[in-house]
Amino acid sequence: IEKFKELSPAQFFARYREVAGFSNPARALYQAVRELVENSLDATETHGILPDIKIAIRQSIDNPRFYTITVEDNGIGIQPQYVPNAFCKVLFSSKYVLRQTRGMYGLGIKAAVLYAQMTAGSYVEVITSPVNSTRIYYFKMKIDLGRNEPLIFERGSWRKSREWHGTIVSLTLEGDWPRAKQKVFEYIKRTAVITPYANIVFVSPDEELVFFKRSVEKLPQPPLEVKPHPCGVDVELLKEILRNSSEPVINVLTKSFQGVGVRAVEEALKIASIEPSKPSLKLTDQEIVKLAAVLKGISIDALIRARESTRAATVIDMLIELEVPATKDALTKLLNDLNIDPLSNPRSLSDEAIEAIYRGIAKLYPKIRPPSPKALSPLGEGIIEAGLKKIFNPEFVKAISRRPRVYQGHSFIVEVAVAYGGGVPSSSEPTLLRYANKIPLLYDEKADVSWKVIERINWEQYNITMPAPLIILTHVCSTKVPFKGVGKESVADVPEVERELSLAIKEALRALRDHLVRRMKEELAKRK
């Protein structure tokens, strides 16, 4: 007979630490360094502070299996009343808001603390001083696994004697520096390359010191919290927004979302057959499902899927089945204007026809503005090209930073770059450098959506023959990067993101092709 039981989030991630990236001592050492560094960069850059980050890994003298990792930053610090939960309560975070940060899960530092506790029985020590505080605070803690609560063993505070704000975090855990070394150095270097405004110092267990000195005094525009975008919003989020208020639904929707004015909301409610003055919490489940579909609008991906999966025998019936907000006559006219026979078989629609229908239909939906980019903080073509030139000294480099798009209510920007020739080493497949929310991703390359896109590329189409000296850099930044796992090593193939990566990479490769063609003509001209 089966024994049923519940686990706390702390017990769950302690037991299944591999899903958070702590699968072996080398990987755990790497992951713990990442979690601390990513928290420090969030605490500085996101708040308009030029980052000064110090990272030290020391091997324990009495037991060489154990390493002590200490990371110090000059960030905004943490208010003392939040420190215990921030470091010792799993699924507790200040980054659950819609704003691009490296952190997102409320798990990172806790997963490292759990691993340290389990392998070395050790405590996490935190020294922090918030920006506007006159005091410095000290905590020595562990996680109570069963309750998912902090256990505080020591605490103290004292007045600041000098102008300092920031945080120092220290943990001791079982690691494997020889096997982690190459990845840790690569991670820090690839981080420094795209954060030229940061000072990063790293001292290794072999007592090597590496100093990435700030080469740029100007911070990028920090991202700002925004409201969700209605496109792709899910039923549960919409419910949560609506059920909290007895105000008329038209008011609640207008102030809860970005990108929609009163007229667009009115239109959406009309299509969903909902009375605008109806109190928000009185909406029925069916009305909410209908409203979510209308707000979501139609995406080109949904049209493509409909072409393949519809049971309708004609294009006009396929559109009706998709519940496009228009009369049959209006849709028939739209199709006729596009020279598409409404009674033709949906399977016969070309991709161009789908795009044309998409643009036509989009006009029928409520006017929803594109997502605001202010929650995002892309790298920018300048930083990407400068970084690639610095490391590789290529003959050609081209970065593309796309416009903001939306998936599931989250705005995102895709940036890519290609570097070719010069100091770039030749290889049988392109060297892929992946980033997500400015974090370098070093593992699980072939499981990543960027690789899925690259695998499909027909290199001949771009005048490239493998082996070739080709580097492709990809950066996906979003208010929610759809990582495949909480260890943040690869990005999932969400259709909208995959599509943007594909368009961006092809755009960059076309620029490379033009360069290669031009260079070939110049060489031919020289020989004559």
CB of 95 to ligand ATP, least distance (A): 4
The residue (of 149 and 507) whose beta carbon lies closer to its own copies is 149
Q: Which of 39, 128, 299, 479 binds Mg ion (CB under 5 A)?
A: 39
* From 55-63, 100-108, 289-297, 374-382, span contacting ligand ATP (CB under 6 A): 100-108
Half-sphere exposure of 20 (CA within 13 A, CB side): 29
Q: Which one of 88-96, 297-305, 362-370, 440-448 is the stretch in contact with ligand ATP (CB under 6 A)?
A: 88-96
Phi-psi region of 224 (alpha: psi -120 to 50; beta: other; left: phi over 0): beta
**x-marked contacts with Mg ion along 86-125 as a string, rule CB under 5 A:** -----------------x----x-----------------
- Minimum CB separation of residue 474 from ligand ATP in Å reads 20
Task: Work out the widest C-alpha separation in the chain, in whole angstroms.
Answer: 87
Q: Which residue from 109, 268, 357, 449 is in contact with ligand ATP, where contact means CB under 6 A?
A: 109
Counting residues that bind ligand ATP (by CB under 6 A) gives 22
How far is residue 35's CA from residue 251's CA, in Å, rounded to a whole number?
A: 41
In this chain, which of 105, 187, 392, 420 binds ligand ATP, going by CB under 6 A? 105
360, 333 Cβ separation under 8 angstroms:
no
Choosing among Mg ion, ligand ATP, its own copies, none, which partner's interface includes residue 172 (Cβ < 5 to 8 Å by kind)?
Answer: none
Judge contact between 315 and 349, C-beta under 8 A. yes
108 lies in the binding site for ligand ATP (CB under 6 A): yes
* DSSP-derived secondary structure letter, 56: E
* 373, burial (CB in 10 Å: exposed 0-12, middle 13-18, buried 19+): middle
Nearer to its own copies, 121 or 163 (CB): 121
Instruction: Please state the closest distance from residue 135 (CB atom) to its own copies, in A.
Output: 17
Nearer Cβ to ligand ATP, position 105 or 451?
A: 105
On the CB side of 351, CA atoms within 13 Å amount to 1
* Residue range at the interface with ligand ATP (CB under 6 A); choices 93-101, 201-209, 284-292, 460-468: 93-101
Segment interacting with ligand ATP (CB under 6 A) among 75-83, 157-165, 171-179, 205-213: 75-83
C-beta of residue 144 within 8 angstroms of C-beta of residue 150 = yes
**CB closer to its own copies out of 436 and 512:** 436
Q: Quick one: 11 or 299, whose CB is closer to ligand ATP?
A: 11
Q: Which of residues 422-441 bind ligand ATP (CB under 6 A)?
A: none
Looking at the Cβ atoms of 92 and 212, the one nearer to its own copies is 92
Query: Where are the extended beta strands (E) located within 179-308?
Result: 199-203, 209-212
Query: Looking at 86-94, 220-228, 343-351, 497-505, which segment touches ligand ATP (CB under 6 A)?
Result: 86-94
334 binds ligand ATP (CB under 6 A): no
DSSP letter (8 states) at residue 468: B
Residue 63, classified by CB atoms within 10 Å of its CB into exposed (0-12), middle (13-18) or buried (19+), is: exposed
Least Å distance between CB 522 and its own copies? 37
Q: How far is the CB of 506 from its own copies (least distance, A)?
A: 21
Residue 58 CB: number of other CB atoms within 10 A? 16
Distance CA 171, CA 184 (A): 17
* Host H or E run for residue 168: strand 166-174
Give the H or E element holding residue 182. Answer: helix 177-194
475 closest CA partner among 501, 495, 455, 493:
501
* Closest of 176, 173, 172, 202 to residue 187, by C-alpha: 202
Instruction: Work out which of 57, 104, 188, 335 binds ligand ATP, going by CB under 6 A.
Output: 104
Going 440 to 198 to 388 to 510, the CA torsion angle's sign is positive
- The minimum distance between CB 100 and ligand ATP, in angstroms, equals 12
Quick one: which of 196, 190, 258 has its CA closest to 230?
258
CB of 484 to its own copies, least distance (A): 6
Identified binder of ligand ATP from the candidate list 167, 299, 408, 474, rule CB under 6 A: 167
Smallest distance from Mg ion to CB 39, Å: 4
**Residue nearer to its own copies on the CB measure, 4 or 217:** 4
Cα distance between residue 50 and residue 217, in whole Å: 8
**Among 167, 170, 200, which residue's Cα sits nearest to residue 82?**
167
Nearer to ligand ATP by Cβ, of 95 and 510: the residue is 95
Residues 34-53 interacting with ligand ATP (rule: CB under 6 A): 35, 39-40, 43
Query: Closest separation between CB of residue 92 and Mg ion, Å?
Result: 11
- The contacts of residue 410 (CB under 8 Å, 6+ apart) are 98, 228, 229, 232, 478, 479, 480
Q: Residue 278 and residue 269: Cα distance in Å, rounded?
A: 10
Provide the minimum distance between the beta carbon of 114 and Mg ion in the complex, in angstroms, as a whole number.
14
Residue nearest to ligand ATP (CB): 103
What angle in degrees, to the nearest 10, is found between the helix axes of 262-271 and 285-296?
120
Q: Both ends of the chain: CA-CA distance in Å?
A: 87
Rounded least distance, CB 433 to Mg ion, Å: 22
Rule CB under 6 A: say whether 86 interacts with ligand ATP. Answer: yes
Residue 118 touches which member of ligand ATP, Mg ion, its own copies, none, C-beta under 5-8 Å by kind: its own copies
Which residues contact Mg ion by CB under 5 A? 39, 103, 108
Which residues contact ligand ATP by CB under 6 A? 2, 35, 39-40, 43, 73, 75-76, 78, 86, 93-95, 103-110, 167
